[in-house]
Structure 1
């Protein structure tokens, strides 16, 4: 499965590889019928970029309370659609406000439980040891630096990291030149794998993703004013059945929980303007 090679000359090939990698990295989404044994588990659907932190939080929560947490990770867009289609989730953690808003507008979350939990930063990553120093100046030459290679990030049409990336590149006047060279991945972690394995020379991910993969390094950091503030909201779903879900949501936003988020590079959510 991991012997895939990106067909650099064709956008469709890039998309196919990105989808295949996404399945390999994140291919354990919840089915619509949860086993009876999971009835009292807290079922969390969380943005792919939160995977390592959520798994540690779940382990600590079980050690403290004896309550189990089952998690599934993918792009926020995919998870929101799963919830809309009846996936038995108790908690949703999104990598942007839009997909939480999408569910709230459809009365699929408990609005009074919603909280802006985390913030993050947008970076360009390259394979470890790469000599490329991406030009993120206004009207810069990022597209030319890619040569015949591709730039991996989430699909800007729906994946939050891709939406942030598009906004940043538009602000820098580089989107028109870079857009034809995109490898559109199904999640930020799928984009990260493409860079880590050398399938593409550069990728746009969150700083927290760059920190967990020893195969990549941060090659450049986007100016913070070039993209909308990155906000991760969390909320209980409207169909939550677990009596422990509210306790887990409280835990992940508690001082102990925030210490874990900080360990993995997340920061508190930026304050609303």
Structure 2
């Protein structure tokens, strides 16, 4: 009987060997889009399972550096991917720019604030009350906040605006502050505003007011397996691009 059980175990091992889990660390702004992309990938690769972990790119990069089990990382800016590269944590030849985005000013959906133009004569503090704050991902480490600081600085608004910021742990947390009416305005990605019924876009920051918003992707060193390679290829496929585009993301060539 022992020999029979062992034989059965050996016979079933190849079946389980085909199944692959792929752990993906992705920027919080990708939450909805990556959920749909993962489902589409699994439909085409039923033996693979995608595990998604979302947070600020800075938080995820630090987790990876500390030994976090990510096989793929998608950052919302180049800075944190560069940071991992400097520590030799990326699989050579796997890094590329996957997506782009826009930076917008939002208000609660029921706000009386109408569409405005942002330029070097704008003053965001004039749009809020004396005790109000402007929601934004923390400019010290959250990519959306870093882009926001750069845009505000280039438009001559940073010094006046900085003391009036509500610094959130990630861009989705900043979005939530505006959705709940805790902040009368906020700075988020265009894709975050697009998925929310609780906010409206009142302005788009000029593209030349901040560096191009890019989402680099890479496989983590020594974590490469056939499944992570398949998923990386799928992320660059037309099927995935269609889903990303539906959420408002742009493609690198655009």
Please say if 1:139 is aligned against 2:124: no
Shift, 1:63, TM fit: 0.9
Look at both structures and tell me which one has the larger radius of gyration over its CA atoms.
2
Q: Partner residue of 2:14?
A: none
Contact 1:118–1:270, Cα closer than 8 Å, also in 2: no
Contact 2:57–2:76, Cα closer than 8 Å, also in 1: yes
TM-score (norm 1): 0.83
SS of 2:107's partner is: strand
Shift, 1:131, TM fit: 1.5
Partners of 1:41 and 1:242 lie apart in 2 by 10
Please say if 1:103 is aligned against 2:84: yes
Q: Partner residue of 2:29?
A: 49
Q: Partner residue of 2:207?
A: 224
Partners of 1:175 and 1:135 lie apart in 2 by 17
4+ residue segments displaced more than 6 Å: none
Please say if 1:186 is aligned against 2:186: no
Partners of 2:197 and 2:55 lie apart in 1 by 21
TM-score (norm 2): 0.89
Q: Partner residue of 1:123?
A: 104
Equivalent of 1:62 in 27, 36, 42: 42
Shift, 1:139, TM fit: 3.2
Deviations 1:129-148 (A, max 9, x none): 21124562213221122122
Contact 1:125–1:205, Cα closer than 8 Å, also in 2: yes
Contact 1:154–1:185, Cα closer than 8 Å, also in 2: yes
Contact 1:136–1:142, Cα closer than 8 Å, also in 2: no
Contact 2:91–2:224, Cα closer than 8 Å, also in 1: no
Partners of 2:127 and 2:198 lie apart in 1 by 20
SS of 2:181's partner is: coil
Q: Partner residue of 2:73?
A: 92
SS of 1:219's partner is: strand
Contact 2:135–2:178, Cα closer than 8 Å, also in 1: yes
Partners of 2:180 and 2:50 lie apart in 1 by 31
Aligned length: 234
